[in-house]
Chains A and B, each alone.
Chain A
Amino acid sequence: MTKRVVTINVNGTEHSVQVNPLDRLIDVLRDELGAKSVKEGCGTGDCGICAILVDGKLVNSCLMLAAQCDGRRVLTLEGLLGDPTMKRVQESFVVNNAAQCGFCTPAMLMASWDLARHSANPTTDEIKVAISGILCRCTGYYQIIDSVHQACGESKR
């Protein structure tokens, strides 16, 4: 397989990377570009903990090829560490005990941030839908839902 160069904007910075046609986005992000917050839980698109934003849409980075991202904008948790909305979501996760083992946390934060920037006062059902593609085995989701409510400025469920 011949490598080709693709240009991906990751967290605001343009990166030209040499990729094989079958290289997965998750591997390029983690191994080439240092975005270790992106976790792999299954590799088959079922668990959602590799979720990131591509051109503003939440996607599973294990199901996307790096080559598909040529010319696109990719956002991972690393790129949002200075963002005020993300900071609010993170603080809310901390005080609501929403991160237990922490392995799904980056993806949950991405999904929650994506919801928070679009919706000022989401309902519990909207929050459930927003995080429904991401599995968490520790929390039973309740404290994550509480966190999103709080970060979005609404009272708890």
Chain B
Amino acid sequence: MSEQVSQLLESLREKAGKGDLLYIGENIVRVDSLEKVLGKPVYTADLIPKGTVYAKLFHSSIPHGVIKHMELGAAKSQPGVLGVLTWRDIPGLNESSAILPDRQLYADSIVRSTADILGAVVAETLPAAADAVGRIKVDYERLPAIFDPLEALKPDAIKLHPKGNIARQMRIRKGNVEEGFAKSDIVFEKTYRTQFQDATPLEPEMGLAIPEDGGMKVIGSMQSPHHTQAAVAKVLKLPPEKVRVIQAVTGGAFGPKSDETPFDVCSTAALAAMKYRRPVFCGLDREESMVMHTKRHPFVITHKTGVTSDGMLVADESKIVGDTGAYASLGVFVIVRATFHTVGAYEVPNVKADSFLVYTDNTYTGSLRGFGGPQAVFAIESQMEELARKLGMDPLEFRLKNMLVPGKRNATNALMDASCGLPQCVEKVVASSDYRRKAPLYGKQRGGLRRGLGIALLMHGNSLGPEGNDYGAVHMEILSDGTVSVGTGLTEYGTGAISGMMQVASSVLGVPLARFKLERPDTSKHRESGPTVASRVVVIGGNASMLAAQKLKAKLVPLAAGMLKAGEDEVSIADGVAFIRKRPSASVKWDDLVAEAYRRGLSLKEDGFFMAPAAPWDTEVGQGTPYVQYTWGALIAEVEVDTETGFYKVLGVHAAYDVGRAVNPGGVLGQSYGGTVQGLGYAMMEELLHKDGQVVNPNLGDYYIPTSMDIPAEFKAFIVEVPGPLGPFGAKIIAEPPIVLPGPAIRNAVLNAVGVSVDDLPVTSEKVLMGASKAARPSR
């Protein structure tokens, strides 16, 4: 981090007044919990006004081809149908893309996947719209399709996009792997594969557009309202300020709602509202959502790793191929994060990585919690386990020898400083799981039910880093009744991060969070704050919030000092009371202080803006400091496998995350539990299946996510606090990381229980049984 920025942060922390920070580390009541437990009508579909009409999207039925003719007459003449929108109805740009302009809102000629939208029927009721969609006939000229990214990479493959099939390439060159392999005693190569995962926010994507004074108001379920505003404005050919986007309370997001689907539903609603001058609702049902929104990329990752006989990693060469489906979406950054994390939480002196984000005719993939981390870490942690077995070493000892600690360097050659809390995380889970006693015992098991322990370690880069400028703006106003009103373009969609961000301000101001209220994110009121992704709200938004609060405090403390006839530096504000520190009985209540400020005409309205320092790296060799700080973690899973059936249970999970400073510990644990269970789904059962480009299980009856019956009986979650340089009071990010480790830890636990390596996620009982019978055969 630059000297200037670290000085700024340091002075902020000092100014914040360490003694006054009552609320950091306190379990808070979230600002949004009341409306949720009262079942208030706050989600997009709850806000549909009378007189609203419904837009229903229709899609390509083939994975690759040219549209020859669309027969819309029968649909248009159905009762209740206002009309059918296609690309011809778009006044502006026919584009619905996050980064690369490779995706149209409505396909005009070529379709590249069964998720491609051809248009929308607009009708008085949803059933009428759905019925009309069923009457649309489309003739296509089929083109050959590619569903395997390795096929798409071949030089003679047909081109799916004009520029070819590689959407993004990335590499790392650290040291010299050939020399490293020459020095190694064992060189081992293996390939690992991961599957499509669906994020499954329980509320699918929703958009509601209402025409208003010469422009359009759009209310929707989304992560990034300003990006949606830009996308809708482009389609409508309106200046962005004529499109007002408000984020409704959002029922889960997990990444896809920061990607392109919110653009699709909001642009469609807005387009129809503009054409028919009526409020229009465009909401996806579960099946549409699972087909259309971005999934987790399937990856094929090959590691070739060299290690000395005493267990020191020397070199690692990896080839990383991600299937982005028909479009790149935010996948162009997913592949970058995966590449930077290719050797995970270990020091490897020589690293070579080549990664490819590849187009196919599958439905497209993109942003999803973890953002390339789960795939990369599954591969390297599986490879670590295989290497430990080759070496005949305990997998924990092997990891302890090679893991990152202060003074070591990661794959990008960034030097780990004192903020690396990985050793403390490992210590917690090793003790909690009783690893050292159990691991040797489990190695000697016989019989039908066998137990195993599996470990995985985490390094997770914080800040957007390579993905763009990382900034946030927070508007803060103290109202005349003493309420602190907070507005920001950053959004809440379930994690509690916005409350954490406000908790920082509450601590700086010395006023309980109960006195705060959150405005709904609204592009007409709140400054653009970048996308709400990468778990960055508490860290980046928290700093902006701290700055705004600090400015307000700089007005209130002198005022209080005047009222109390004391010096400014003698006065503190805590728990809603300003007082003289040496004589706490000399005090003025927050409400009276604010009232006095209003009497004197003091403006109590301030903005805070924070931008993370640059994270420079050399794109040619993938070396540098692409992240400003890291979250660290360790997880040990204990499983019991039935060798007769392959069925296995996760008996216990022990997880520790170094979050720098837990602003709201209950919230941190909530992320640890929730992310881990979502990761358990990824590890054990979740797989969105494609057959010839069609999603075959786009419903929650055939695509399983964990229920309350699937969670481990024992879950020990630990918070480690080794302050980082970036976040307020040392905070590091936490929402994404917990989804990463369950996959490899469970895979490794099964391996240690029954000797079966499952190298492709999910680790199903069927794969365990097949592996077990294969392993058993030679001995018979």
**B33 (CB) vs chain A CBs: closest residue:** A94
Contact A137 B37 (CB under 8 A): no
Contact A101 B711 (CB under 8 A): no
Residue-wise, chain A 128-146 has the 8 Å CB interface mask toward B (1 for contact) of 1101111111111111110
Q: Within 8 Å of chain A (Cβ to Cβ): is B88?
A: no
**A86 (CB) vs chain B CBs: closest residue:** B37
Q: When the two chains form the complex, which single residue of B29, B33, B34, B201 contacts A137, counting CB atoms closer than 8 Å?
A: B201
Specify which chain A residues have a CB less than 8 angstroms from the CB of B285 in the assembled complex.
42-43
Given A101-B203, A102-B249, A103-B251, the answer on whether A138 and B709 have CB atoms closer than 8 Å is no
Q: When the two chains form the complex, which single residue of B666, B676, B709 contacts A128, counting CB atoms closer than 8 Å?
A: B709
Specify which chain A residues have a CB less than 8 angstroms from the CB of B496 in the assembled complex.
97, 100
Q: When the two chains form the complex, which single residue of A44, A103, A140 contacts B699, counting CB atoms closer than 8 Å?
A: A44
Contact B252 A137 (CB under 8 A): yes
Given A44-B699, A97-B30, the answer on whether A145 and B708 have CB atoms closer than 8 Å is yes
Specify which chain B residues have a CB less than 8 angstroms from the CB of A67 in the assembled complex.
none
- Nearest Cβ in chain A — how far from B768, in angstroms? 23
- Nearest Cβ in chain A — how far from B73, in angstroms? 25
Residue-wise, chain B 395-420 has the 8 Å CB interface mask toward A (1 for contact) of 00000000000000000000000000
Contact B711 A141 (CB under 8 A): yes
Q: Within 8 Å of chain A (Cβ to Cβ): is B630?
A: no
- Nearest Cβ in chain B — how far from A32, in angstroms? 12
Contact A135 B705 (CB under 8 A): yes
- Interface size of A in residues (CB-CB distance below 8 Å): 50
Q: Within 8 Å of chain B (Cβ to Cβ): is A37?
A: yes
Given A41-B202, A81-B38, A145-B708, the answer on whether A101 and B699 have CB atoms closer than 8 Å is no
Q: When the two chains form the complex, which single residue of B29, B201, B707, B711 contacts A142, counting CB atoms closer than 8 Å?
A: B711
Contact A105 B494 (CB under 8 A): no
Contact A103 B711 (CB under 8 A): no
Contact A36 B39 (CB under 8 A): yes
Q: When the two chains form the complex, which single residue of B202, B667, B699 contacts A97, counting CB atoms closer than 8 Å?
A: B667
Q: When the two chains form the complex, which single residue of B37, B46, B253, B676 contacts A140, counting CB atoms closer than 8 Å?
A: B676
Specify which chain A residues have a CB less than 8 angstroms from the CB of B670 in the assembled complex.
97, 100, 138-139, 143
Given A43-B286, A106-B39, the answer on whether A140 and B709 have CB atoms closer than 8 Å is no
Contact B37 A94 (CB under 8 A): yes
Given A42-B286, A141-B708, the answer on whether A99 and B33 have CB atoms closer than 8 Å is yes
Q: When the two chains form the complex, which single residue of A81, A90, A102 contacts B32, counting CB atoms closer than 8 Å?
A: A102
Q: When the two chains form the complex, which single residue of A77, A101, A133, A139 contacts B251, counting CB atoms closer than 8 Å?
A: A101
Contact A137 B709 (CB under 8 A): no
Specify which chain B residues have a CB less than 8 angstroms from the CB of A124 in the assembled complex.
713
Contact A140 B711 (CB under 8 A): yes
- Nearest Cβ in chain A — how far from B638, in angstroms? 17
Specify which chain A residues have a CB less than 8 angstroms from the CB of B715 in the assembled complex.
140, 142
**B714 (CB) vs chain A CBs: closest residue:** A157
Specify which chain B residues have a CB less than 8 angstroms from the CB of A102 in the assembled complex.
32, 35-37, 249, 251, 494
- Nearest Cβ in chain B — how far from A84, in angstroms? 15
Residue-wise, chain B 14-48 has the 8 Å CB interface mask toward A (1 for contact) of 00000000000001011011111111110101100
Q: Within 8 Å of chain A (Cβ to Cβ): is B700?
A: yes
**B285 (CB) vs chain A CBs: closest residue:** A43
Specify which chain A residues have a CB less than 8 angstroms from the CB of B204 in the assembled complex.
41
Specify which chain B residues have a CB less than 8 angstroms from the CB of A96 in the assembled complex.
666
Q: Within 8 Å of chain B (Cβ to Cβ): is A78?
A: yes
- Nearest Cβ in chain A — how far from B492, in angstroms? 9
Given A97-B496, A143-B670, the answer on whether A46 and B701 have CB atoms closer than 8 Å is yes
A144 to B252, CA, bound (A): 16
Contact B202 A95 (CB under 8 A): no
Given A46-B700, A101-B494, A129-B709, the answer on whether A143 and B286 have CB atoms closer than 8 Å is no
A124 to B38, CA, bound (A): 25
Q: When the two chains form the complex, which single residue of B41, B494, B667, B700 contacts A42, counting CB atoms closer than 8 Å?
A: B700
* Main secondary structure on B side of the interface with A: loop
Residue-wise, chain B 201-244 has the 8 Å CB interface mask toward A (1 for contact) of 11110000000000000000000000000000000000000000
Q: When the two chains form the complex, which single residue of A39, A128, A138 contacts B708, counting CB atoms closer than 8 Å?
A: A128
Specify which chain B residues have a CB less than 8 angstroms from the CB of A41 in the assembled complex.
202-204, 286, 700
Specify which chain B residues have a CB less than 8 angstroms from the CB of A105 in the assembled complex.
36-37, 39
Residue-wise, chain A 32-53 has the 8 Å CB interface mask toward B (1 for contact) of 0000110111111111010000
- Interface size of B in residues (CB-CB distance below 8 Å): 55
Specify which chain B residues have a CB less than 8 angstroms from the CB of A36 in the assembled complex.
39-41, 46
- Nearest Cβ in chain A — how far from B207, in angstroms? 16
**A139 (CB) vs chain B CBs: closest residue:** B674
Contact B37 A100 (CB under 8 A): no
- Nearest Cβ in chain B — how far from A40, in angstroms? 8
**A136 (CB) vs chain B CBs: closest residue:** B202
Q: Mark out the residues of chain A between 76 and 135 whose CB falls within 8 Å of any chain B CB in the assembled complex.
A: 76-78, 81, 90, 93-97, 99-106, 109, 124, 127-129, 131-135
Specify which chain A residues have a CB less than 8 angstroms from the CB of B202 in the assembled complex.
39, 41, 47, 49, 101, 103-104, 135-137
Specify which chain B residues have a CB less than 8 angstroms from the CB of A37 in the assembled complex.
39-41
Q: When the two chains form the complex, which single residue of B37, B495, B674, B709 contacts A90, counting CB atoms closer than 8 Å?
A: B37
Residue-wise, chain B 668-683 has the 8 Å CB interface mask toward A (1 for contact) of 0110011111100000
Specify which chain A residues have a CB less than 8 angstroms from the CB of B713 in the assembled complex.
124
**A34 (CB) vs chain B CBs: closest residue:** B41
Specify which chain B residues have a CB less than 8 angstroms from the CB of A81 in the assembled complex.
38
Residue-wise, chain B 119-154 has the 8 Å CB interface mask toward A (1 for contact) of 000000000000000000000000000000000000
A100 to B678, CA, bound (A): 14
- Nearest Cβ in chain B — how far from A41, in angstroms? 5
A36 to B496, CA, bound (A): 23
A143 to B40, CA, bound (A): 21
Q: Within 8 Å of chain A (Cβ to Cβ): is B200?
A: yes
Most chain B Cβ neighbours within 10 Å, of A43, A97, A133? A97
**B677 (CB) vs chain A CBs: closest residue:** A140
Specify which chain A residues have a CB less than 8 angstroms from the CB of B701 in the assembled complex.
44-46
- Nearest Cβ in chain B — how far from A25, in angstroms? 16
- Nearest Cβ in chain B — how far from A54, in angstroms? 17
A88 to B269, CA, bound (A): 41
Contact A143 B673 (CB under 8 A): yes
Contact A132 B30 (CB under 8 A): no
A36 to B41, CA, bound (A): 6
A133 to B250, CA, bound (A): 22
Q: Within 8 Å of chain A (Cβ to Cβ): is B493?
A: yes
**A49 (CB) vs chain B CBs: closest residue:** B202
Q: When the two chains form the complex, which single residue of A45, A132, A138 contacts B674, counting CB atoms closer than 8 Å?
A: A138
- Nearest Cβ in chain A — how far from B465, in angstroms? 26
**A91 (CB) vs chain B CBs: closest residue:** B37
Specify which chain B residues have a CB less than 8 angstroms from the CB of A129 in the assembled complex.
708-709
**B32 (CB) vs chain A CBs: closest residue:** A102
Contact B700 A47 (CB under 8 A): yes
Most chain B Cβ neighbours within 10 Å, of A93, A94, A141? A141
Specify which chain B residues have a CB less than 8 angstroms from the CB of A104 in the assembled complex.
202
Q: Within 8 Å of chain A (Cβ to Cβ): is B590?
A: no
Specify which chain B residues have a CB less than 8 angstroms from the CB of A101 in the assembled complex.
201-203, 250-253, 493-494
What are 13 A-B pairs with beta-carbon distances under 8 A? A41-B202, A44-B286, A81-B38, A97-B496, A99-B37, A100-B252, A102-B36, A103-B201, A105-B37, A135-B202, A138-B252, A139-B674, A140-B675
Please give the residue numbers on chain B whose beta carbons come within 8 Å of chain A beta carbons, in ascending order.
Answer: 27, 29-30, 32-41, 43, 45-46, 199-204, 249-254, 285-286, 493-496, 666-667, 669-670, 673-678, 699-701, 705-709, 711, 713, 715
Given A96-B666, A145-B708, 13 other A-B contacts at CB below 8 A? Answer: A37-B39, A39-B202, A41-B204, A44-B700, A90-B37, A99-B30, A101-B252, A102-B32, A102-B249, A132-B707, A134-B708, A137-B200, A137-B202
- List 3 A-B pairs, minimum CB-CB distance, nearest first: A37-B39, A101-B494, A103-B251
